[in-house]
Chain A
Amino acid sequence: MQGLITHKLSCIRGEQSVFTGLDIAVNPGRALLLSGPNGSGKSSLLRILAGLLPPATGRIDWEGTNIAADQDAHRARVAYIGHEDPLKPNLTVMENLSFWARMYGFDPNIEPALFQFSIESLAGVPVKYLSAGQRRRTTLARLALGQNSEAGPALWLLDEPGAGLDRGAVAMLANTILAHLSNEGVAIVSTHGDRLDELLAEHADSFDMRKLST
């Protein structure tokens, strides 16, 4: 049973230490919920785990191997959802999602993903006409794209994925994450103690970033 393990990870941003000595371990089929106040380093940690930001010190192991040894392989196993919605306002929901599906080599049939987040009626609508919640759903549908493909990403890194979602959409997100976990996937999710935590509670551990703030 080996998923993701970090050893004495530390992060420095702009000469200021964000956290030091971070040790977490997440087994396959489990989620880790990151909590902590603004600026405690949740987003930085997720970016480090994704390989977008190099850690100041420490190492990250995936199934016993340092991720720095093969960065291409690590990128292929990561699905990252950040704060922003990486969608082009002038393209439709369908065009945005099928672009990412093709770029990542996922199944180009994106309809199941649209249904999973109930945005199928928006497929032909340019993203600029969507509400904030609808945009977020479209962003999250990317998770479903990988899930519905063979050899989709095993490590999901979600930075406040529930922000701006209504109750129904949070449930869709929780179901998507639970399906990923039941598939022996790993998910690390930063939250602000919202409903998503309750829905995932049975399969998730919590980690409070406050313990590390210096």
Chain B
Amino acid sequence: MIGIALLVRRDLRLAFRGSTDAMMSVIFFILAVILFPFGVGSDIKILPHIGGGIIWVVALLAALLSLDRMFAADHDDGSLDLLYLSPVSLGQLALAKALTHWLTSGVPLLFAAPILALFYNLPEAALLPLLYTMLLGTPTLSLVGGIGAAITLGARRGGVLLALLLLPLYIPVLIFGASALDGAIAGRDIGPQFMILGGFLLAALALAPWATAAALRYAID
């Protein structure tokens, strides 16, 4: 546990010091979400219907944006070898990296999303469900993303490969995240969607670090 805390602290320090990578995800998220009303027109009837879906799709893409650097910096400068040789296991390393990724590119989206919802005239009833679904969904994206980041480590043009690998895996989160918002707008019970998203998060928490560790072991050679 101490090892995870040390890693998260170091990586957060790196993220806040000089590097613009951390801000990139949230700025991309805000800009891309704002672009859609310009494209589809500002029809007040259409926007609330597509708003939730668009926010979720762009959140998936924003999560992808910074994923390829999750292990790449440590791989390139030889730190990954040393992390492997340290008493901290690769599974703990995977967990620490996913946590840092979520803190730097997931949490900022939570703050931006309710403001962006205004652009789509989302009804008030959808605001809290939007926050809650993103709170449950974005950590899943970071955890599952770690698997893809570890698999594409060392591959040339890994970023494109990463998108091809991960976007299909992100579809379930998208489906239930967007349908929870739909349900909330229509006044339906959205408990089941929350439970399923929570289930995804628990499953990812248990399985993703393990799969990421296996892929990392393969990348160290």
A interface residue numbers (CB < 8 A to B): 47, 50-53, 72, 75-76, 78, 80, 82-88, 90-91, 95, 99-100, 102-105
The answer to the question of B188 belonging to the interface, with a C-beta cut-off of 8 Å to chain A, is no
Residues A83 and B19 in contact, CB atoms below 8 Å apart: no
Give the distance in Å from the alpha carbon of A47 to the alpha carbon of B88 in the complex. 19
Residues A85 and B77 in contact, CB atoms below 8 Å apart: yes
Residues B85 and A50 in contact, CB atoms below 8 Å apart: yes
Interface of B is mostly: helix
Please pick, from B13, B81, B220, the residue contacting A86 in the complex, using a CB distance under 8 A: B81
Closest to B88 in A: A103
Residues B6 and A99 in contact, CB atoms below 8 Å apart: yes
Residues B87 and A52 in contact, CB atoms below 8 Å apart: no
Residues A80 and B85 in contact, CB atoms below 8 Å apart: yes
Residues A82 and B78 in contact, CB atoms below 8 Å apart: yes
B interface residue numbers (CB < 8 A to A): 2-3, 6-7, 10, 13-14, 17-19, 73-74, 76-79, 81-88, 220-221
Give the distance in Å from the alpha carbon of A78 to the alpha carbon of B7 in the complex. 21
Residues A104 and B86 in contact, CB atoms below 8 Å apart: yes
Residues A82 and B81 in contact, CB atoms below 8 Å apart: yes
Please pick, from B2, B77, B86, B221, the residue contacting A52 in the complex, using a CB distance under 8 A: B221
Residues A91 and B13 in contact, CB atoms below 8 Å apart: yes
Contacts A91-B13, A91-B14 given: A52-B85 contact, CB under 8 Å? yes
Residues B86 and A103 in contact, CB atoms below 8 Å apart: yes
Report A-chain residues with C-beta under 8 Å of the C-beta of B87.
72, 75-76, 103-105
Residues B220 and A52 in contact, CB atoms below 8 Å apart: yes
Closest to A159 in B: B78
Report A-chain residues with C-beta under 8 Å of the C-beta of B77.
84-88
Closest to B79 in A: A86
- Known contacts A52-B220, A85-B78, A86-B79; 18 additional CB pairs below 8 A are A51-B85, A52-B84, A52-B221, A53-B221, A75-B87, A78-B85, A80-B85, A82-B78, A84-B78, A86-B77, A86-B78, A86-B82, A91-B14, A102-B2, A102-B6, A103-B7, A103-B82, A103-B83
Enumerate 14 A-B pairs (CB-CB under 8 Å) in ascending A order. Answer: A47-B221, A53-B221, A75-B84, A75-B86, A75-B87, A76-B87, A85-B77, A86-B79, A86-B82, A88-B73, A90-B14, A91-B14, A99-B6, A103-B86
Residues B14 and A103 in contact, CB atoms below 8 Å apart: no
Contacts A52-B221, A76-B87, A80-B82 given: A103-B19 contact, CB under 8 Å? no
Report B-chain residues with C-beta under 8 Å of the C-beta of A87.
77
Report B-chain residues with C-beta under 8 Å of the C-beta of A75.
84-87
- When A and B form their complex, which 3 residue pairs have the shortest distance between CB atoms, in order from nearest? A84-B78, A86-B79, A86-B78
Residues B84 and A99 in contact, CB atoms below 8 Å apart: no
Report B-chain residues with C-beta under 8 Å of the C-beta of A91.
10, 13-14, 17
Give the distance in Å from the alpha carbon of A80 to the alpha carbon of B79 in the complex. 11
Please pick, from A52, A90, A95, the residue contacting B18 in the complex, using a CB distance under 8 A: A90
A77 to chain B, nearest CB (A): 10
